[in-house]
Each structure stands twice: as structure tokens, then as C-alpha cells.
Amino acid sequence: MPAHRIVVPLFDGIQPLDVTGPYEVFMGATEWLRVRDRAPGYRVVLVGADGAPVRAESGMRLLADEQLPAPGRVDTLLVPGGRGARTTPADDALVTWIRAAAPRAERVLSVCTGAFLLARAGLLAGHTVTTHWRYARALAAVDPAVEVHADAIHLRSGRVWTSAGVTAGIDLALAVVEADHGPDVAQAVAREMVVFLRRPGGQSQFAGPVWTAPAGRPTIRAAQDLIHGDPTADLRVPTLARRVGMSERHFSREFTRELGSPPGGYVEQVRVEAARGFLETGSAPVAAVAARAGFGSAESMRKAFLRRVGVAPDHYRRRFTTVH
């Protein structure tokens, strides 16, 4: 039985970790399978348009194993992201090659903004996908027939698997290994790489934005300053509106227009971010963290975490605490 062949196209402006992260997962699984089962595991093949190295967006150079357009068998097509993926037009030779290669693959994977290449190749219509949170709206604009979930770590929709930004490609690759060879193999690889197995695919992208650009309108910016300055204060709409000299209705409308979130949602997000910091760096009880972050109770904080982060506060602490 031949090794499962994973083909990865390279291009200028690539994000190198989108390649090297999954590569190490699949090679780690291959080594483990050889020792345990004498099974062939995976073969990862990097393909490029010519023999020259491609330059990653960070300046790193990557060299392809084989040259396009004929990479041979494609069991899994893995498309990485990066600046080059976001800016490559639909009529580019790379997109044309992806469009032709994908039907031959058992499954198609994208890491981060590699989803843009799949969308421009017409491969995501009707699927539910994810990408880096920063580019979710832009991806949805590429093809309105694609349902984009901006907050998931990775998603599977039929034979299309997509993941969030950079390190989420490792999560995606571990999920593939688990699907192919079971949790024991994926667990062994994760342990060897000293990564968590497993961040659930639907879990929030914990590396999401903490800071929001200041509002252009001075009164709304003043409200922002009040919220960030003391998340434990009374930050209800009547109080905020009064303090910035606006009617409640006008304040709510202008706040939402300026910042893309209603005041209550914005306050909740700021409090969640504050609580995350306390949970990661301290050992105070969850109830005490809730009070320090401005939540009325531990239960209200738990509900906010489930909405915003995808896991409960105590679960989040177990995964991300820096206190030992």
C-alpha cells in the first residue's frame, strides 16, 4: 500500500507555518505508524511553478519537490495561505491548477487564507468554511455562496476541510490524522510536538482581536475610553449615554455604526478579554475573576465565555494558564 500523498502548492507570498506546521504533523504520524504498524503513513510533496524557490511573506524561501503542472497522484490537496493567497486573481495559473487538481483528491484542505484560492477556484460554493478571523469578511465577499464562520479553529464540510490562521493548520492536520488513523496516533504526535490535542474545530480562535480601533466620533471614543478604563464600572447604555451627553437611542445607534457592535456586546467583549488575562496569569477563583472583570456573577461570565470564546472559563484556564 503506497503512502498517502499530500500535495502542497507553493507560491510567492506564502505563510511558511501553513506549510511547515501540517508537514511536521504528517511526518510525525508517518514515523509513528512505521514503528507501530510498519505502515507507510504520509508523503508530503511540495509543488511549484518552476524550479526556483518561492519567497514567503516573511522572507523565508521554500523549495518545491516537484514542478507544476503534473505532480502525479493527489490523495489530499493542502492549500496554504499568506499574502500571496489573498491577492492571487481567479485567472492565475495557480488557481487554474488547483481547480483541475481538486477533483482528483479524496479531500481538499486549506490553512488560513488558503481558502481564498479555493474560493477563486470555485471549490467552496455551498460549503461552510473558516479562515483567519481578520479576513473572514473578505473571503465571504469572494463568493457569496460560501458560508464563512469567522471564529472556528477548523471546519469540515464534506471533503473540504478549512482552518483558521497559521497555528490552526496544526490542529487541522491533527484532525486529519485522527480521522485516518485514530486518536491514539494523533495523541502521540501532539504529545511529541508539545501541542494541545485537541482544540475542538468549532472552538473560538483564541488569538482573536483584543484591541479595537478608536471611533472617529469624539463622543463615541469617550465612551470607549470609559469602557476600557474600568470594565467593572456601570457601563449600561443609560449611564454611558448620559456621561457622553447623548440620548440613549442616538448613542446606541451611533456606537453601533462606528464600532460595528452594540454597546452591550462591546462591553461584554472587553470584559471577556479582561477575564481571559486574569485566568491566564493568575490563580484567583473563577468567581473572583468574574468580579474583577466586571461581570455580575460567575454564571454571567460563564455564559459570556461560551458565547465569545466557545468554552467555559475553568476550561479556558486549564488550557491556557501560565501559572504552575
- What's the sign of the alpha-carbon dihedral 107, 113, 118, 123? positive
Provide φ and ψ at 76, rounded to 5°.
-130, 130
pLDDT of residue 209: 39
Cis peptide before 69 (omega within 30 of 0): yes
Would you mind telling me the total number of residues written for the chain in this entry? 324
Instruction: Indicate the pairing of strand 154-157 with strand 160-163.
Output: antiparallel
Complete DSSP assignment for 192-248:
HHT--TT--TTSB-TT-----PPPSSHHHHHHHHHHHH-TTS---HHHHHHHTT--H
| Cell numbers for 294 | 466586571
d(CA 292, CA 90): 50
pLDDT of residue 277: 81
pLDDT of residue 217: 86
d(CA 317, CA 295): 17
pLDDT of residue 243: 94
**Domain architecture of the chain: domains with CATH:** 4-193 (3.40.50.880), 218-320 (1.10.10.60)
Q: What is the pTM of this model?
A: 0.65
Q: Which residues of the chain have pLDDT under 50?
A: 197-198, 203, 206-211, 324
